[in-house]
Amino acid sequence: MKRGGLYDIAIIGAGASGLLAAIAAARLRPELRVIIVEKNAEPAKKLYATGNGRCNYLNTGLSPEAYSSAELGSAPEIAKTLFHGNAYGVISDFLRGIGIEPKESSEGRVYPRSMQASDVVSALLSAIRSERIELLCGFDAKEIVRVEDSWKLQSAERDYLYARRVIIATGGRAGIQYGCIGEGYRLAQAFGHRIVKPIPALTHLITAEDAGAMAGVRAAGRVSLIKLMGYGSVTAASDSGEIQFTKTGISGICTFNVSRHMRFEDGVSYRAELDLLEEYGEEELNELLLERRTIFAAEAPEAIISGLLPRKAAQYIVNRAGCLPRERCRDLDRDRVRRIAQLCKKLSFTVTGTGSWKDAQVTSGGVSLTEVDPAELSSRLAKHIYFCGEVLDVDAPCGGFNLGFAFASGMTAGLSAAASI
């Protein structure tokens, strides 16, 4: 039960961005009274699950271009402000200063040296204690109202406290099982902030075609997301890596990365085109398959590609090319060989949806950046209200960029709020 009490800064949400905001504020101005309120019984619930329990918390390649806004597109101003110069060095040094030692892995992904997400949480909570920041769990903030020159934060249980500055660090809607239901949007809307429609991102794609026969197959390749509109089509996103086939469609990191760019609107549909043999041009592959037709003349049709692709994928492709199980490679005419080569290069699926909020790692969309100051992360509509983390309309691909944004924006919001007092 918390009734009353006046704080200098109150932060709503003890996730990655909120914890960093509190630590940065308290370090800049140790004399300030800082409190974090968290609706869950424990802080940082989601952080334990990040990076499959290893917490890929940064990427050495942090740059504005890694980020997009669903409303404003690639490299929005906020990303340019947060990630200029040696942003990676600054954030990494700050985190090292609270005991998080980095270990760099492939593609610039940065993990804690122990490869344990729990060690990142422990270090953050240790800093919260040593900076004498109050952490109040079980406080589900429902309302922020102006009372003279402070804000009154009211919880679902009618507990309340006052603060001179409030930082909204409530996250988005992704990872709903960790308590994220998009409460921050409602809090922001109460001040007149516009919310860019949130959609689940970094998740699998559901396809109309039944590719269940390939469930469990993993193959290296490129996924291109094609956006179809009444007047034509464009490649909305494309990424290479390990494609995983599931009972309902496709998954894997490269699929997650293109899922960020899917927005179903009236008259818009999507297709995923997979290139499962990226290293070959279509002509080159066609020639190779004609040779293999001779080498494997007496074998079933999938033999023509099964040394190039996992067997189940080979079977699926020759079936889609219209081959029959009783046929042999020597029965395949040039057109069918060509068709198989084309399918390897452009295996097309109609995308009917994405994973749910439970499956998604981030939210695309959120509080519109047009009403937030990109340097201070303060609201342009409500004085002394700040935002940080996933609640904002910013998202990035897998690889430590999203936690990078949570940490960078948390630091900035905390420093701005503290400096303004």
Ligand X SMILES: Cc1cc2nc3c(=O)[nH]c(=O)nc-3n(C[C@H](O)[C@H](O)[C@H](O)COP(=O)(O)OP(=O)(O)OC[C@H]3O[C@@H](n4cnc5c(N)ncnc54)[C@H](O)[C@@H]3O)c2cc1C
Does 56 sit near ligand X (CB under 6 A)? yes
The percent of the chain in helix, strand and coil, each rounded to the nearest 5, is 35, 30, 35
Q: How far is the CB of 39 from ligand X (least distance, A)?
A: 4
Does 112 sit near ligand X (CB under 6 A)? no
Query: Between residue 183 and residue 242, which ones bind ligand X under the rule CB under 6 A?
Result: 183-184
Question: Considering beta carbons, is residue 255 or 306 the nearer one to ligand X?
Answer: 255
Count of all residues that appear for the chain in the document: 421
Helix axes 334-345, 311-320, angle to 10 degrees: 120
Q: At 152, which amino acid appears?
A: K
Does 77 sit near ligand X (CB under 6 A)? no
Distance CA 88, CA 86 (A): 5
Does 174 sit near ligand X (CB under 6 A)? yes
Q: Which stretch binds ligand X (CB under 6 A): 169-177, 224-232, 242-250, 285-293?
A: 169-177
Does 12 sit near ligand X (CB under 6 A)? yes
Question: Considering beta carbons, is residue 189 or 235 the nearer one to ligand X?
Answer: 189
Q: Which stretch binds ligand X (CB under 6 A): 44-52, 223-231, 249-257, 308-316?
A: 44-52
Query: Between residue 113 and residue 132, which ones bind ligand X under the rule CB under 6 A?
Result: none
Distance CA 369, CA 23 (A): 24
CA-based torsion, 70, 72, 73, 77: positive or negative? negative
Q: How far is the CB of 402 from ligand X (least distance, A)?
A: 4
Question: Considering beta carbons, is residue 48 or 380 the nearer one to ligand X?
Answer: 48
Q: Which stretch binds ligand X (CB under 6 A): 180-188, 314-322, 349-357, 379-387?
A: 180-188
Q: Which of 400, 408, 411, 418 binds ligand X (CB under 6 A)?
A: 400
Q: How far is the CB of 190 from ligand X (least distance, A)?
A: 12
Q: Which of 10, 23, 406, 413 binds ligand X (CB under 6 A)?
A: 406
Quickly tell me which residue has 């209200």 as its tokens: 385
Does 167 sit near ligand X (CB under 6 A)? no
Does 355 sit near ligand X (CB under 6 A)? no
CA-based torsion, 290, 295, 301, 307: positive or negative? negative
Does 141 sit near ligand X (CB under 6 A)? yes
Does 397 sit near ligand X (CB under 6 A)? no
Cα separations in angstroms, 88 against 80, 109, 170 = 13, 12, 24
What number of chain residues touch ligand X (CB under 6 A)? 39
Q: Which stretch binds ligand X (CB under 6 A): 8-16, 26-34, 61-69, 296-304?
A: 8-16
Q: Which of 11, 18, 214, 357 binds ligand X (CB under 6 A)?
A: 18
Cβ proximity of 328 and 298 under 8 Å: yes
Q: Which of 7, 23, 24, 51 binds ligand X (CB under 6 A)?
A: 51
Query: Between residue 243 and residue 272, which ones bind ligand X under the rule CB under 6 A?
Result: none
Does 37 sit near ligand X (CB under 6 A)? yes
User: In 129-210, which ranges are E strands?
Assistant: 134-137, 141-147, 150-155, 160-168, 195-201, 205-207
Cβ proximity of 421 and 165 under 8 Å: yes
DSSP characters over 49-105: HGGGGT---EETT--GGG-EETTTEES-HHHHHHTSSSHHHHHHHHHHHTT--EEE-
Q: How far is the CB of 204 from ligand X (least distance, A)?
A: 13
Instruction: Look at strands 160-168 and 3-12 and give their pairing.
Output: parallel
Nearest to 133 by CA among 249, 23, 214: 23
Question: Considering beta carbons, is residue 56 or 306 the nearer one to ligand X?
Answer: 56
Question: Considering beta carbons, is residue 178 or 287 the nearer one to ligand X?
Answer: 178
Return the structure tokens found at 181: 């239901």
Phi and psi based region of residue 103 (left: phi greater than 0; alpha: psi -120 to 50; beta: remaining):
beta
With H, G, I as helix, E, B as strand and everything else as coil, classify residue 381. Answer: coil
Which residues form the interface with ligand X (CB under 6 A)? 12-18, 37-40, 45-46, 49-51, 55-56, 139-141, 169-171, 174-175, 179-180, 183-184, 361-362, 389-390, 400-403, 406
